[in-house]
Structure 1
Amino acid sequence: MSSSKHILPFQLAILLLAIVSVSIGCGRTAQHPPESDHQIWRFAIEESEGSVQHVYATQFKRQIEAATSGGVEVVVYPYGTLGTSTQITEQLNLGALEFAMASPGSIGKFIPETQVFLLHFVLSNSDIVNQQILSSPEVLETFDTLYRDKGLKLLSIFPEGEMVWTTQKEVRSPKDFQGVKIRVMTSPMLIDAYAAYGASPTPLPYAEVYSALQLGMVDAQVNPIFAIERQKFFEVTEWLIFPGHAHFVTTVVANQEFYDNLSEEDQAIVDQTIADLNDYIFEQQVQFQSDRLKAIVREMQQKRAKLNICGDLSDFIESLSTQERQELIDDNPFLNITPALTPAERERFQQASKEARKTFLQIGGPKADEILSLIRQVKNRVLDNAAQVEPQSESRLPGPE
């Protein structure tokens, strides 16, 4: 790789690579002598065990090891094992890792165009539509070119679930956000988006969110439902709001040099495994959201604590058995469900979110406008062809403003 593709400054890059190579390489040499044909592929994720990314990486490991008859061993590193998300991306770029998850919040520092997936109302409020957008050849090829310029190989883009607000009060319009301190990731687009809604966006490390909510340092936060359940954010807020404004998106990435140097057979195995996992992880993440929401409702019921939910829960309710529905929904005095935001209410948020879109066009890299136009075109085409999406529940992404 040429030096222009290094994400880190040279001296820091060499030091980090040496540290990682020693810490990982020692165990590898002890188990598998250099003359062995046995390979170890290292896969780092941005989430903990039991997460959507962990499910993906674990299945990737199973399929790769089965397809290579044990010739390849995949070692999965949950979040925190090898550092922060940014450090994981740096290690991948340097070849200290073969594979990694890289979400826009972290890789956007190196490939600014990926921050398009942080914008609100750019993707659909339908899981199925988003899967088709993110797996479309045009989107993958365009982003693969951007990744390649950084010494990375883009393998897949997939959604991990709808972003949900946990708040201390019901929020149905931007005016309801007035004065609300909401924790957000450190992203100019997210800061601008929630400021445009009337809130006070407050960047905080993920590990500090629970205590900040508990102590009243912030009033709200936003995450997919599986993260809300795992981190217990529902314990220290009053409402779960499903506004249909955004989905959490991540990318599966390989080191480009490693990928290019694979044998034709191994490269085909990787490509087929990724193709198989596209449908697998979509089904898994949908089930994940249902299971984790069920766990939240059940836990609050057992604690005899009030749980308020604003959103369309029809799919969730249909996923329950007759007994579960009776127990958790119909006969649950601690659960209060209010209707989902109306199209008119969502439109108010969508109009306000345009300020963040302007920010993206300024800081989203030289191809920001091209990327936003591409997502718009693919989304509108998918919506036109998706009979399962009702027109009144989904907005087409407007043209240039």
Structure 2
Amino acid sequence: MREGRLSTMKRYTRWGVSAVASLTLAIGTLAQPAAAESWKFALEEIDGSVQDAYAEAFKKRIEEKSGGEVTVNIYPYGTLGTSTQLTELAANGAIQFANASPGHLGKLIPEIQVLSIPYLLSQNNECNKQVLGGSEVIYENLDEKFENQGLKLLTMYPEGQMVWTTNKKITSPEDFSNFKIRVMTSPLLVRAYEAFGANPTPMPYSEVYSGLQLGQIDGQVNPIFAIEEMKFYEVQDYMIWAGQQQFTTTVVANYGFYDGLSDEHRQLVDSTVDEMVDVIFKTQDQYNKERLEKIKQTSDIEMIHLNEEQRAVFAERAKQVEKKFVEMTGDSGEKVLNALTQEIKSCEDKMGS
């Protein structure tokens, strides 16, 4: 069953930011006595997104395997709060599951922002699947840090290459001069786009379209499916592939909820998460290909793929971001960065990438 579907973006913009405590109280009133357990799963994206596809597949498997003992209610973006609030709601136990992108989650666990470093993940998505699905340094070394924040990291997965949409042609850092690009509220992402030569401007997801339309920002960065479903291409002139980053999200559970599950239900969650690795990688690839075709059919936006030489200039600038990450996270972050880099390299070597 779905809760609180919003029909138009106008309703998103009317969402007033409330205190997390108030949200927690409001959500608590939704619970009604029932024979089946009811688990809440909140998304950072709207109905029809990659995260929505993941949640729907997760819901279907959980409900079928539990034989009706568990129901999963899905809350798309805007129904419970901002991305930052969703993470806090999960940590507080008001909801059981949430998507949490590293840019927002990094406020609680700074080391997870390693996934926001440009040009760190592989250009080979099979390697990304292996690393994101089973990284020892992330799942084991950071487990205690998640627990200390009231969270359990269940999985990570990419949602597609991050693509710039802009109102001018960008092929070099010089082109980014005085260019206001929307980024998530992450200090590391702000530093990344400063290194690229731009003027990074944090802005809530729901305000990006109007921000582009009104000239408050000159461009933004998102995977293709999001660019299509949020109609950003309608108010931009270019889509630019620089190969800098996969948009990566995590699925977290409230730690107390997860730890308190029966052995049977914990195995139900774990096995479903494992099954979803292949499913979501195929789904995100399909979604992005289909959405790109829709954009091509309905828009004359110019599409630019930077060549290797052009990408190399941005990749060199990204080294500044690695230094900033270590400054922000100290020895712990440096160990995570070095170990994750080695995991990616080992995978690429095995696959001949």
Q: Same-fold call, TM > 0.5?
A: yes
Q: 1:365 to 1:160 in 2, by over 3 A?
A: farther
- Contact 1:13–1:94 at 8 Å: present in 2 too? no
- Partners in 2 of 1:99 and 1:112 — Cα distance? 20
Pairwise CA RMSD: 1.7
Please give the per-residue CA displacement for 1:69-112, whole angstroms capped at 9, x wherever unaligned.
11111111111111112221112112111111111122111111
- Partners in 1 of 2:249 and 2:217 — Cα distance? 26
The within-5 A match list for 1:34-113 is: 36=35, 38-113=36-111
Match of 2:27 in 1: 20
- The aligned amino acid for 2:323 is K
Q: 1:204 to 1:280 in 2, by over 3 A?
A: same
Please give the per-residue CA displacement for 1:20-46, whole angstroms capped at 9, x wherever unaligned.
212x22xx23xx2xxx3x211111111
Match of 2:301 in 1: 307
Gaps of 5+ in 1: 1-11, 301-305, 312-340, 390-401
Match of 1:327 in 2: none
Q: 1:377 to 1:50 in 2, by over 3 A?
A: same
- Contact 1:111–1:365 at 8 Å: present in 2 too? no
User: Which has the higher relative contact order, 1 or 2, with Cα contacts under 8 A spaced 6 or more apart?
Assistant: 2
- Partners in 2 of 1:347 and 1:203 — Cα distance? 26
- Partners in 2 of 1:20 and 1:351 — Cα distance? 46
The within-5 A match list for 1:2-401 is: 16-22=23-29, 24-25=30-31, 28-29=32-33, 32=34, 36=35, 38-138=36-136, 139-300=138-299, 306-311=300-305, 341-364=306-329, 367-387=332-352, 389=353
- Contact 1:112–1:364 at 8 Å: present in 2 too? yes
Shift of 1:360: 1.3
Q: 1:351 to 1:100 in 2, by over 3 A?
A: same
The farther-off stretch of 222-231 and 162-171 is 162-171
Question: Percent of aligned positions with the same letter in both sequences?
Answer: 45
Shift of 1:345: 1.6
- Partners in 1 of 2:20 and 2:243 — Cα distance? 40
- The aligned amino acid for 2:229 is R
Provide the secondary structure at the position in 2 that maps to 1:350.
Answer: helix
With the length of structure 1 as denominator, give the TM-score of the two structures. Answer: 0.79
Shift of 1:295: 0.6
Gaps of 5+ in 2: 1-18
- The aligned amino acid for 2:256 is E
- The aligned amino acid for 2:48 is G
Match of 2:10 in 1: none
- Partners in 2 of 1:14 and 1:242 — Cα distance? 41
Provide the secondary structure at the position in 1 that maps to 2:171.
Answer: coil
Match of 2:13 in 1: none
- Contact 2:39–2:72 at 8 Å: present in 1 too? yes
Shift of 1:364: 3.0
Query: How many pairs align?
Result: 334
Match of 1:9 in 2: none
Greater radius of gyration (CA): 1
